[in-house]
Amino acid sequence: MASFRSQILDHLKGLLEAAGKPAGLTVEVLRLQNLEGVNLPHALIRPAGETVELANPDSLRCPVVVRDLRVAVDCRAAATEGQTVEDALDALLVWVTKSILADPRLGARAITTEENSTEWAGEDSADGTYALATITFTVRYRTKTNDQEAKA
C-alpha cells in the first residue's frame, strides 16, 4: 500500500488532469530528470517538506500524528498565438488553485488544504523564454504514529 503522502500527491495529479484543464497541459509528480524539452504548459507536483506533531501532545503514547505536507506545484507556460506568456501562466495558476482548493479535504484524505504562496520567475531554454511560477500548498492530514500507510 502507498503512504498517505503518495496518495495525496496522486490525488492532486488527478485533480489537475480533470476535464476543463488548459489545452495541452502535462501534469507530473516529482520528476527528477531534466525538464528541458517538456511540452508546455506543464505542471510538476512535488513534496517540499513535512512537519509532524502528536495529535495529543499531552500524551507521550499518542497513537496519532498530524502531518503538514508542503506541496509545491511548479507551473511552466509559454506564449501562444494571441496570448502573452504572462497570460498563459496566469491561466495555469488559476486552474491549479481552483482544482486543488475545490475540495480542501481531497476526497477525505486530508483534514484541510491551504494555499500558502506563489513565486514567479522567467526561464530561458533552447526553445525560447517561458514563465515559471511555483504555488505552495499545505495539506494537513493524520496517520497512525507508527504507520504512515494507516489513516487515523
Cα 69 from Cα 140, distance rounded (Å): 6
CATH number listed for the domain at residues 4-151: 3.30.70.1700
Q: How many CB atoms lie within 10 A of CB 92?
A: 25
Burial, 126: exposed, middle or buried (Cβ in 10 Å; 0-12, 13-18, 19+)? exposed
Cα 91 from Cα 88, distance rounded (Å): 5
pLDDT tens-digit map of 50-99: 999 999 888 878 899 999 999 999 999 988 888 888 888 999 999 999 99
Residue 123 has pLDDT above 70, yes or no: no
